[in-house]
A = this chain, B = another copy of it.
């Protein structure tokens, strides 16, 4: 029989692969200024430090590191991670599971919770990769309305009453793709609604430490009474995405289901990578490293905002206090997907906003990343975009 007769699983019917990752391939051309992607700056990647730590951990615990590990995590890391997470959140957490990047945290949480057709509430726009994850679990995605500071609790409550969702997926701090940060008051309200109605919150918070202005706010998890909030964290933005180390923290019963799911997903997260991050925590190397990252990223963000201030009237954009992204809305007559082709011809790339929208549309929007370009590239690239937009008006 010819292989063209093969039928793939139903879960792929509405999924064709992450558009953002396809864009990555196009922009790999030399000389391209990329405001696409969410990559850390090369300067921020501590290759020498990781090499030193790899040598250290392999010399001290090499046999255990190269052997099979427990699905629950590499024991020293499990210990340092739990106390790190509790420090970060300001509350104790019943359980923590190290995972292969926080993308895996989302995958395992979906595996633990979702049957096909279950309703999941999402921000609109939201992180593409996790929207794809939800689609592969055949979730019924329902967008919740937002204003300038993020999710609207009134609309959230209405959607909860109407759809009885299993899960809310939210990125409350320096959101991807908008850069918005939810206020403390709304975070408390979300935690209350989740506990009142019985809905799991997946609080995805990978950008938390990348704050260049303003004051830290408590997590949604901080206001959780009965354990309905699961906190998803990552070391991708503050150490290295290539190491693939993240975690999920919260209720022990849910973590247990995630652990059983992980047994047949990848058995355990690579020990060497867990051991390296463990050393970052034990040696308290993160505060200084994060301080130096934030210094550079803050300059780049302000630079990009300065250029946006010079864009034509009718272009609106967010003013984040941290993170990696700025969100822009062009006049409705301009299609950011079409504009991208012209920008790429002039060696500038970004991600059109429509790809982040669960309901499509929003063709006049785009996401700009500032972390992975030099100040000079930001100047050149933003001038190109300004030109292109001027000529479309």
Q: Which residues in A have some Cβ–Cβ distance to B below 8 Å?
A: 1-3, 5-6, 8-12, 15-18, 21, 24-25, 37-40, 42, 45-48, 50-51, 54-55, 58-59, 62-71, 100-101, 103-104, 106-107, 111-115, 129-130, 132-133, 136, 195-198, 200, 226-228, 236, 240-244, 251, 253-254, 256-257, 259-261, 263-273
Contacts of A107 in B (CB 8 A): 264-266
Cβ contact within 8 Å between A266 and B11: no
Q: Are B266 and A101 in contact (CB under 8 A)?
A: yes
List residues of chain B with CB within 8 A of the CB of A103. 264-267
Contact between A133 and B67 (Cβ–Cβ < 8 Å)? no
Known contacts A242-B65, A267-B129; A227 and B3 CB within 8 A of each other: yes
Copies in the complex: 2
A12 and B55 form a contact (CB under 8 A):
no
* B100 adjacent to A270 (CB under 8 Å): yes
A37 adjacent to B112 (CB under 8 Å): no
Partner among B9, B198, B243 whose Cβ is within 8 Å of the Cβ of A6: B198
**Is the beta-carbon distance between B39 and A226 smaller than 8 angstroms?**
no
Contacts of A136 in B (CB 8 A): 111, 261, 264
B45 and A3 within 8 A (CB): no
CB distance from A382 to the nearest CB of B (A): 23
> Complex: how many Å from CA A21 to CA B257?
14
**A251: which of B1, B3, B271 is its contact (CB, 8 Å)?**
B3
A46 CB contact (under 8 Å) in B66, B101, B195: B66
A-B contact list, 11 entries, CB within 8 Å = A1-B195, A17-B256, A18-B264, A21-B263, A47-B65, A50-B62, A66-B243, A68-B242, A103-B265, A104-B266, A107-B264
Whether the pair A129, B50 counts as a contact (CB closer than 8 A) is no
Interface-centre pick from A100, A200, A257 (highest chain B CB count, 10 A): A100
